[in-house]
């Protein structure tokens, strides 16, 4: 097993989780400022006001990335830093921050992979309905145009939106993430359709305004079924469930990915959700299916299923077994088969190259007496998942990149600063950065071209 020499080794983070400087230099508030500043929404009422203070410390952070030897860094832009009201007047200081950051990355020999929107919608747009307002497509298109005109001469790799199921499933249906809504399923499907149209407008804006060759995608995620055994029946049951519209929630992967890549909503979903569907026009589908260049997927864990008597997947409760190795978040059981099958099935169905835009492990890492952070469990996690990706490549999956989540510990949304995903430890009292053991392990792995020890 070996990784191709042109494989993109990377690490990722997102604006609201690391930047801080929430009201500095003209930045407008986003839904995550509102949500996290409301008592009772986030673990111990933490918020992203300061976070890792990356806004002021980005030079030091790029220095760490350079030391790590990553070829690419996945970052997101704060929409309300660039357009404080979401539309209209541009905040030059906000654009300049990203301009400088991107120049800094390029000088360090690191490709910037830019996500336009990673959950921090300008509050001014939420006040007009956010994704429930069909105008979101034009708002997003206009924002993408401004970004492309300013950065598109140097940025070649883009993702429009990060994880639609989290934005709408946790934010609009379950109400546990910003903006904390609990809408009906019909309203959620209408918002989902608007989100897909916004993605399409974003792709068009990037194509029209960037200079040079662009690689454009959208970062998806889901809940990954894992076949309980190697039997063809279990494998097919899990694959069918992965792409099936199985419940009235926002986690049906094919509901998002089929319209974009295949140009149509999946039949089983149209049937199952028929009482809740918004109006869907041919013009919408044409916009949504603007060609993309690669698949981006965030993958962490999964759940085991087996084929029932009728061949349909049955979920195995506690499929990983009591005591299976795990991270500190409830959903983070170590299950590298999830990434193996995601790679195989996605590239088979959508016939595009795939990049894992996120994968990572959270723990309660701290600095030891010797001044180091010994995170052997994270190294073990990475070893397992990268082995699984290597095996998927050997078995024919076209995987072209891997971004570890995250380059540094950061604001883990509703969990606050409790769970640490970084390969660099951040002391939130002093802002001192300490590379963890996993940082050096990943550095050496990249230097060896991905050869696992």
Active-site pick, 163, 187, 224, 337: 163
Identify whether 275 is a catalytic site residue. Answer: no
**Residue among 60, 48, 59 nearest 21 (CA):** 48
Considering only CA atoms, give the Rg of the chain: 21
Distance CA 240, CA 421 (A): 31
Is 163 in the active site? yes
Q: Which stretch binds ligand GBH (CB under 6 A): 42-50, 216-224, 268-276, 373-381?
A: 216-224
Q: Which residue stretch of 108-116, 150-158, 219-227, 315-323 sits at the interface with ligand GBH (rule: CB under 6 A)?
A: 219-227
In this structure, the strands spanning 295-298 and 302-307 are unpaired
The rounded distance, in Å, linking the Cα atoms of 420 and 408 is 8
Q: How far is the CB of 224 from ligand GBH (least distance, A)?
A: 5
* Minimum separation from the CB atom of position 329 to ligand GBH (A): 7
Q: Which is nearer to ligand GBH, 134 or 325 (CB)?
A: 325
Q: How many residues bind ligand GBH (CB under 6 A)?
A: 17
β-sheet bridge partners, residue 359: 404
Site for ligand GBH contains 331 (CB under 6 A): yes
d(CA 158, CA 219): 10
Shortest distance, position 410 Cβ to ligand GBH, whole Å: 7
Contact with ligand GBH (CB under 6 A): which of 111, 123, 221, 359? 221
* Member of 130, 164, 302, 401 binding ligand GBH (CB under 6 A): 302
Token readout for 266 is 């999946």
Q: Is 163 in the site for ligand GBH (CB under 6 A)?
A: yes
**Residue with the closest Cβ to ligand GBH?**
223
Of 61-69, 86-94, 144-152, 299-307, the window that binds ligand GBH (rule: CB under 6 A) is: 299-307
List helix spans (H) across 250-336: 253-262, 267-272, 282-288
Interaction pattern, residues 113-142, with ligand GBH; x per rule: CB under 6 A: ------------------------------
* The only residue of 19, 120, 234, 358 in contact with ligand GBH, by rule CB under 6 A: 358
Among 41, 193, 223, 306, which residue sits at the site for ligand GBH (rule: CB under 6 A)?
223
65 Cβ contact partners less than 8 Å away, ≥ 6 residues apart: 11, 73, 105, 108, 110, 407
Helix orientation angle between 337-350 and 376-394, rounded to the nearest 10 degrees = 30
Minimal distance in Å, beta carbon 121 to ligand GBH? 14
> What residue has token string 């603007």?
290
- Position of tokens 């600095």? 367
Choosing from 19, 61, 224, 375, the residue that interacts with ligand GBH (CB under 6 A) is: 224
- What residues numbered 389-408 form the site for ligand GBH, per CB under 6 A? 405
Q: Indicate whether 412 belongs to the interface with ligand GBH (CB under 6 A).
A: yes
15 CA to centre of own chain: 12
285 binds ligand GBH (CB under 6 A): no
Minimum CB separation of residue 421 from ligand GBH in Å reads 6
Per CB under 6 A, the segment of 2-10, 129-137, 159-167, 179-187 that binds ligand GBH is: 159-167
DSSP string, 196-222: HHHHHHHHHHHHHH--S--EEEEEE--
The Cβ of residue 126 has, within 10 Å, a number of other Cβ atoms equal to: 22
Compute the distance between CA of residue 426 and CA of residue 430 in angstroms, rounded to an integer. Answer: 8
- H-type helices in 250-375, by residue range? 253-262, 267-272, 282-288, 337-350
Closest contact distance (angstroms) between CB of 446 and ligand GBH is 21
Q: Measured from the CB atom, is 215 or 301 closer to ligand GBH?
A: 301
For ligand GBH, the closer of residues 3 and 356 by Cβ is 356
Question: Of the residues 187, 290, 337, 358, which is catalytic?
Answer: 358
**Residue 378 is a binding residue for ligand GBH (CB under 6 A):** no
CA nearest neighbour of 356 among 393, 411, 319, 320: 393
- Please choose, from the candidates 144, 132, 117, 277, the residue with its C-alpha nearest in 3D space to the C-alpha of residue 206: 144
Say whether residue 162 binds ligand GBH (CB under 6 A).
yes
Residues sharing a CB contact under 8 Å with residue 271, sequence separation 6 or more, in sequence order: none
Q: Which CB atom, from 358 or from 375, has the smaller least distance to ligand GBH?
A: 358
Please give the Cα distance from 4 to 111 (Å, whole number): 18
Shortest spacing between CB 107 and ligand GBH, in angstroms: 27
Query: Among 14, 125, 190, 373, which residue interacts with ligand GBH (rule: CB under 6 A)?
Result: 14
Residues in contact with ligand GBH by the rule CB under 6 A: 14, 162-163, 166, 221, 223-224, 298, 300-303, 331, 358, 405, 412, 421
Query: Which amino acids are annotated catalytic?
Result: 163, 358
């Amino acid at each position: 097993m070996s990784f191709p020499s042109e494989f993109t080794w990377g690490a990722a983070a997102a604006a609201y989780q690391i930047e801080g400087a929430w009201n500095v230099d003209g930045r407008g508030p986003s839904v995550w400022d509102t949500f996290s500043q409301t008592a009772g929404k986030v673990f111990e009422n933490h918020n992203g006001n300061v976070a890792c203070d990356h806004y002021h410390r980005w030079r030091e952070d790029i220095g760490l990335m350079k030391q790590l030897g990553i070829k690419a860094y996945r970052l997101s832009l704060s929409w309300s830093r660039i357009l404080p009201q979401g539309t209209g007047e541009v905040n030059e200081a906000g654009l300049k921050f990203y301009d400088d950051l991107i120049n800094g990355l390029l000088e360090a020999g690191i490709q910037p992979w830019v996500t336009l929107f990673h959950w921090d919608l300008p509050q001014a747009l939420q006040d007009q309905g956010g994704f429930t307002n069909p105008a979101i497509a034009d708002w997003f298109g206009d924002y993408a145009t401004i970004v492309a005109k300013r950065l598109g001469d140097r940025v070649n790799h883009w993702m429009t939106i990060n994880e639609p199921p989290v934005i709408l499933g946790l934010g609009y249906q379950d109400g546990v993430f910003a903006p904390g809504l609990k809408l009906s399923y019909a309203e959620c499907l209408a918002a989902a359709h608007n989100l897909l149209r916004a993605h399409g407008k974003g792709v068009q804006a990037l194509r029209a305004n960037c200079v040079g060759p662009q690689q454009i995608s959208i970062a998806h995620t889901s809940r990954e079924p894992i076949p309980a055994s190697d039997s063809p029946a279990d494998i097919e049951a899990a694959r069918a469930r992965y792409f099936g519209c199985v419940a009235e929630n926002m986690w049906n992967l094919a509901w998002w990915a089929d319209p974009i890549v295949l140009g149509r909503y999946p039949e089983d979903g149209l049937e199952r959700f028929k009482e809740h569907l918004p109006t869907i026009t041919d013009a919408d589908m044409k916009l949504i299916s603007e060609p993309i260049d690669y698949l981006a997927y965030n993958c962490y864990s999964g759940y085991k299923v087996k084929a029932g008597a009728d061949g349909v997947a049955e979920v195995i409760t506690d499929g990983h077994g009591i005591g299976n190795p795990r991270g500190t978040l409830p959903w983070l059981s170590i299950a590298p088969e999830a990434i193996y099958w995601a790679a195989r099935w996605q590239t088979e169905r959508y016939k595009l190259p795939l990049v894992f835009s996120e994968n990572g492990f959270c723990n309660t890492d701290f600095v030891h007496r010797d001044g180091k952070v010994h995170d052997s469990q994270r190294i073990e996690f990475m070893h397992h998942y990268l082995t699984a990706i290597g095996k998927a490549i050997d078995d024919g999956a076209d995987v072209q990149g891997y971004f570890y989540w995250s380059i540094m510990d950061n604001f883990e949304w509703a969990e606050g600063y409790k769970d640490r995903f970084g390969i660099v430890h951040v002391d939130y009292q002093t802002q001192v950065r300490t590379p963890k053991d996993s940082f050096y392990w990943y550095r050496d792995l990249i230097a060896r071209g991905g050869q696992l020890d």
